[in-house]
Homo-oligomer: A and B are copies of this chain.
Amino acid sequence: MIVSEIKLRVRYGETDQMGFVYYGNYPEYYEVGRTEALRTLGTSYKELEDNGIFMPVINMSIKYIKPGKYDDLLTIKTIINELPRTRMNFIYEIYNQQNEMINRGETTLIFLSKEKNKPIICPEWLNKIFKKSFQEI
């Protein structure tokens, strides 16, 4: 299991007139968490794209527990439970400054060949990087 954490401050533009973080902004927070998780694994999503791989999301579920608020310094915890093959799963837990979990989500991503525009199995070079991180921990 790999756990990566990153802090993120809620922007004014991310709130809505309810006074909370707009519910549609959490997927972007997950993306921030996912990006850092891949960096922790020794690669980056940018590097993946540079190597001809897109990773589109095919499934997402979100549980909104408590509201996020403007200027909150949130902690995005991203969890990878298993090595990917054709799919890669990420779990996200978002905590506020009182360390309360305010949001929990899951996404499933696939590996897409840019060139062929088709889903592929996680490439060997990438799998090696992931495996190394899993063994180290």
Contact = CB atoms under 8 A, between A and B. Distances in A.
A44 B71 contact: yes
A31 B12 contact: yes
Interface of A: 9, 11-13, 15-20, 22-28, 31-32, 35, 44-46, 49, 54, 56-64, 67, 70-71
A27 B27 contact: yes
A59 B63 contact: yes
B17 A19 contact: yes
Contacts of A9: 32, 35
Contacts of A64: 56-60
Contact of A61 (B24, B57, B60): B60
